[in-house]
Copies of this chain bind each other. A is one copy, B any other.
């Protein structure tokens, strides 16, 4: 059972150190979106070149539908932007910070 505190002071100060709920939510959303290998690959790909749905599907070997579903997620989170050209939809990165984020994370895993 034990719904008690071992060290009340530490918990109190840790609680203050915790970011506010909205920030926590936004942060975990960003991390979560990059936490799926498919989406991470998409982000890396469109960071390198503006690509259409078909080519992303070919590149990642999944259906165009799956790509489209994921692009909606990425667009909602404002990680990518869309350019329309006739029938085609071209996607590219809409965020410089994301590359920093990936860079920092890459440095992290290379030091294990």
Contacts and interface: CB of A to CB of B under 8 A. Distances in A.
A15 interface: yes
A73 interface: no
Q: Which secondary structure characterizes the binding site on chain A?
A: helix
A45 B14 contact: yes
Interface in A23-47: 23-37, 40-41, 44-45, 47
A59 B49 CA distance: 44
A74 interface: no
Contacts of A28: 34-37, 40
Given A28-B35, A32-B32, A6 B97 contact: no
A49 to B, nearest CB: 5
